[in-house]
Amino acid sequence: MDNSNLNQRYQHPEPNILAEISTLAATTKDTIDLSIGDPDFTTPKAIIDYAYEKALAGQTHYTEASGLPELRETIKAYYHDNYQLDFKIPQIRVTVGASHALYITLAAILTPEAGDEVIIAQPCFSPYEDEVVATGGVPVILSTKPENKFAVQTAEVAALITPKTKAILLNSPNNPTGNVMSDETAQQIAELAIQNDIFILTDEVYGDFLMPGQHFTPLAKFAPANTITFGSMSKSFAMTGWRIGYLIAPEYVADVTRLVNEGITYSAPILSQEAAIYALQHADEFAPIFAKEFRTRLEFIEKVVQTIDWMEIIPIQGGIYAFADIRKTGLNSVDFAAALLKKTGIIVIPGLAFGQSGEGFIRIAATQPLAVIKKALAKIKTLQIDDFKE
């Protein structure tokens, strides 16, 4: 047997830049890795201790498929207390991270035979497009532009809506660009969704990470009946390895995501759910500490990049990344990343990994200690534009 026995889509797969970078980071010695989206912080000890005590008490079994009732209540309370949003418990289901939540949602709302379309704002987290295709949908790319600070333009969204449009997929604060959607734009997108009877799929995992003067409002505030929200403990509580997230959707959608998930994971890991309860109940103790550190790191990156004549920086509004413009070097983003690694030992992610709209840029992750970031930027600053013309 050979690969002709595989799904035709995977017999000759497209290169996966993110996966290749991850492998490179894991297998190359003596590098500075500014590619990874995994915070360098360890999960707070209090969260670990809480989960440990629960394990000792016998919490080592399956949970109800939609998640521990106490966790769903905690998520409900979190949105009420922080955003004055009131969801019903049946709208909330716990998942194995936000990507799992997105996948089962897409499987629930898309009908492959109908050619259902999902508008995806790029640059974006690359699995978005893959998940739409894997669930039988048709990705329709909305290319945001650097001259607009990669902000979504409502008129451009409207121009892409067709009778087959089922949803628009957004991410704010955005990975990789750092753009934060304004309330004005959010309201306009909400009105479009309501008028055209389409879903808004909103990835809000970076909602706690805002630069000074920025403001974040969940999109569910503007179109609750049309919005499906994806959240995660990964970034705000340094819990990437716990693999725990959630979705909040209209009840009829949440019901179907449970059916979709029945044969996939059934339930999320119970100890991760227990840890999430403690994390959310003590969010004010943990998330601000991490957010402050990321602000410090990003402000430093932004300041240094502004002094490099062959590199520019998109103003960072939120998230944990900087999106730097390297077009003056004359290299595409993949070749630039390769050259940077060869010359400095620094690993970054080419903008092309986030879609064609990201070409000409690189993503610099602020997920290393400030001392490491300073060392990396000092190396980059020694390079001249002629160094990239060899």
DSSP string over 299-327: HHHHHHHTT-TT-EEPPP-BSSEEEEE-G
On the question of pLDDT at 18 being above 70, the answer is no
21 pLDDT band, cuts 50/70/90, is low
CA distance 189 to 160: 13
Rounded percentage of the chain residues whose pLDDT exceeds 90: 88
Tell me the mean pLDDT in the region 187-192. Answer: 98
Dmax of the chain from CA atoms?
63
Residue 259 tokens read as 């059916």
| The pLDDT value given to residue 16 | 65
Q: Domain 3-43+285-381: which topology?
A: Aspartate Aminotransferase, domain 1 (3.90.1150)
Considering only residues 101 and 27, tell me which one the structure prediction assigns the higher pLDDT: 101
Tell me the mean pLDDT in the region 5-32. Answer: 73
User: Where exactly does CATH 3.40.640.10 map onto the chain?
Assistant: 59-282
pTM of the model: 0.95
- DSSP letter assigned to residue 96: S
Interval 321-361: pLDDT, tens: 999 999 999 999 999 998 998 899 999 999 999 999 999 99
| The pLDDT value given to residue 6 | 81
Is residue 130 packed enough to be buried (19+ CB in 10 Å), middle (13-18) or exposed (0-12)?
middle
Cβ neighbour number for residue 236 with a 10 Å cutoff: 22
Confirm if 126 and 225 have CB atoms less than 8 A apart.
no
Residue 277 tokens read as 């309860």
| The pLDDT value given to residue 19 | 67
Tell me the mean pLDDT in the region 258-279. Answer: 96
User: Where exactly does CATH 3.90.1150.10 map onto the chain?
Assistant: 3-43+285-381
CA 27 to each of CA 39, 336, 372: distance values in angstroms, whole numbers, following the listed order: 19, 20, 19
Confirm if 142 and 175 have CB atoms less than 8 A apart.
no
* DSSP for 40-73, written as a single string: SSPPPHHHHHHHHHHHHTT--S---TT--HHHHH
15 pLDDT band, cuts 50/70/90, is low
Q: Domain 59-282: which topology?
A: Aspartate Aminotransferase; domain 2 (3.40.640)
Cα of 83 vs its chain's centroid, Å? 20
